[in-house]
Amino acid sequence: MYRAKVYVTLRESILDPQGAAVKGGLHKLGFGEVDGVRIGKMIELRINGNITKMDVDVRIREMCESLLVNEVMEDYVYEIEELS
């Protein structure tokens, strides 16, 4: 069994109004050293079955490109962990 964590963020060229709002809120709370905020999401997947880590890697990429990520606006990275 494997656990994959997919981290999705807006591309740098895409405006992030939620990040800007959080940055403004942090400044109002006295955290003026914060220079930028980008908001993203983390998706955790559990992969079960008789499958190799290399196959899990391929399948996660397929899932991201098919459904989990809007590749026009978002970037992603992921990590895979083998569970005992």
| Range 34-48 burial, b when 16+ CB lie within 10 A, else e | eeeeeeeeebebebe
pLDDT tens digits along 55-67: 999 999 999 999 9
Decide: helix, strand or coil at residue 65: helix
pLDDT tens digits along 32-41: 999 999 999 9
Whole-model pTM: value is: 0.87
Decide: helix, strand or coil at residue 18: helix
CB 56 within 8 A of CB 78: no
Alpha helices (H) in 1-84, listed in sequence order: 17-28, 53-63
pLDDT tens digits along 1-44: 999 999 999 999 999 999 999 999 999 999 999 999 999 999 99
What domains are defined for the chain? Answer: 2-14+40-82 (3.30.1280.10)
Instruction: Give residues with Cβ within 8 angstroms of 34, minimum separation 6.
Output: 23, 26, 27
